[in-house]
Structure 1
């Protein structure tokens, strides 16, 4: 399964808010064996949201959109997703029923709180108010991290793939000095390799066979200088 993640918000693009949602989703999805192939941030504009969602839903098995839910003037994500799917936005009976069960009355809720793309499956927001939605492989989640995480966990079983196993090797050598050994590692073992230099070099190995990844990591550890 391959997935694209789209985060929505002018505040993300301005650097006023750190996009922790994308990092959390990528880690959680990778843990389920799902390949995240795109992470894109778009402004609070219906046209931008619609264009990116429409492009990605044609390319990937699922698109997760997070941010911009609710009834305020800059909460435009549902409108953008609806436009991408050619749907209208309308009040959702199930979402209203959940909110009423949580103790809200219709008079308590701002207009548009429970408005979702027509035909969408409502996703209940347990720790918050604004509901999410799922439709045609597009999943719309809140931007508040605690709400996003809780809502994703309620649908996590819908995201599955081949488990990937990972090992880390740390080398106290310049990255350039490791090139020959990394090349030999790739020839010997069916693993993907990434190297990330800092004070030392972190070498990440991953693959779909746990024993092969462990064997590759052991082989490399014997051939590098450890910190």
Structure 2
């Protein structure tokens, strides 16, 4: 399963808010064997949200959009997703019923709180107010991290892939000096390899067979200088 993640918010692009939602989603999806192909941040602008969602839903199995839900002037994500899907935005009876069950009345709720793209499946917000939505492989989640995480866990079974295994080898050598051994490793073992330099070089191995990954890590560990 290949997925794109779209985070919405002017505050993310201005650097005022750290994009922890993207990191959390990527980690959680990777745990389930799902491949995240894109992570994109867009401003609170209907046209940008619609363009990116429309492009990604044609390329990937699912698109997860997070941020910009609610009834305030800059909460335009539902309108952007609806535009991408050629839908109107309308009050969702199920979402409204959930809010009423949570103790809210119509008078308590700002206009538009329960508005979702027409035909969407409402996703209940167990940790907040603004509901999410799912439609045509697009999942719309809140931007508040606790709310986003709780809502994602309610749909997590819809995201599955091939289980992968990881191991890491740390080398106290320049990255350029390791190229021949990494090339040899790739020829010998069916694993993907990533190298990440810093004070030392962290070499991450990933594959679908746990024994092969462990064997590859052991092979490499014997051939590099450890810190």
Give the TM-score, by structure 2 length: 0.99
Which residues of structure 1 form unaligned runs of 5+?
Answer: none
Task: Say how many residue pairs are matched.
Answer: 227
Q: Match of 1:72, SS? A: coil
Aligned pairs (5 A) from 1:61-100: 61-100=61-100
CA-based RMSD: 0.4
Q: How does 1:38-187 map to 2 (within 5 A)?
A: 38-187=38-187
Q: Deviations over 1:172-191 (max 9, x none)?
A: 11111111110100000000
- CA distance in structure 2 between the partners assigned to 1:101 and 1:222 by the alignment: 61
- Look up the match of 1:19: 19
CA distance in 2, matches of 1:76, 1:40: 17
Runs of 4+ in 1 over 6 A off after TM superposition: none
- Secondary structure class of the residue paired with 2:6: strand
CA distance in 2, matches of 1:104, 1:15: 34
Q: TM-score, normalised by structure 1?
A: 0.99
Q: Return the alpha-carbon distance in structure 2 between the equivalents of residues 66 and 170 of structure 1.
A: 35
Unmatched 5+ stretches in structure 2: none
Separation of aligned partners in 2, 1:62 and 1:198: 34
Question: Aligned partners of 1:225 and 1:91: how far apart in 2?
Answer: 62
**Residue in 2 that maps onto 1:193:** 193
Aligned residue for 1:26, secondary structure, equals: helix
SS in 2 for 1:202: strand
SS at match of 2:187: helix
What is the CA distance between 1:37 and its match in structure 2?
Answer: 0.2
